[in-house]
């Protein structure tokens, strides 16, 4: 089966349209009260690997519904006007998600280059996912 567009092309197109933060830029935003880190990985990934301290968990499959104020699944954290920094394991899902949220009309959304894997490898702060998550 030959697809018209493969995942690599989708990611490349998204990367050409979105803002990607370096690890250093993202680390500087950890204490910024106007920034919220959003972990879009599967809950099993969070339980296994941990997450960026104080990040909000929004599973990739629910993201668009949680962001849209007209959705019955809307989460108020997305309506607070804060800068949204999305991340996943390797920045593939987060690049596509960032592009989607921009297309939905969010202007202050970006993602973490290299994803959580790069964050953890760099020795940056990680917290365990608690049994009671924010999602």
Token readout for 83 is: 């800068």
Inform me whether the pLDDT recorded for 92 exceeds 80: yes
* 127 is a domain residue: no
pTM of the model: 0.93
Average pLDDT over residues 84-105: 98
* 83 is a domain residue: yes
Q: In angstroms, what CA-CA distances link 28 with 5, 25, 114?
A: 36, 5, 16
CATH number of the domain enclosing 80: 3.40.250.10
Q: In angstroms, what CA-CA distances link 2 with 32, 76, 92, 93?
A: 45, 41, 21, 22
* 81 is a domain residue: yes
CA dist., res. 59 & res. 79, Å (int):
17
Which residue range(s) make up the domain with 39?
14-121
Farthest-apart Cα atoms in the chain, separation: 47
Average pLDDT over residues 73-99: 97
* 8 is a domain residue: no
* 31 is a domain residue: yes
């Amino acid at each position: 089966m030959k697809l018209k567009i493969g995942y690599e092309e989708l990611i490349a197109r998204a990367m050409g349209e979105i803002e990607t933060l370096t690890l250093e830029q993202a680390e500087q935003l950890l204490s910024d009260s106007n920034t919220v880190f959003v972990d879009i990985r599967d809950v099993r990934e969070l339980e296994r690997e941990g997450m960026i301290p104080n990040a909000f968990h929004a599973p990739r499959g629910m993201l668009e519904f949680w962001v849209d104020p007209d959705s019955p699944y809307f989460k108020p954290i997305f309506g607070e006007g804060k800068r949204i920094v999305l991340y996943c394991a390797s920045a593939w899902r987060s690049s596509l998600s960032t592009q989607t949220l921009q297309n939905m009309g969010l202007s202050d959304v970006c993602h973490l280059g290299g994803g959580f894997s790069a964050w953890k490898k760099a020795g940056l702060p990680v917290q365990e996912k608690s049994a009671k998550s924010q999602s």
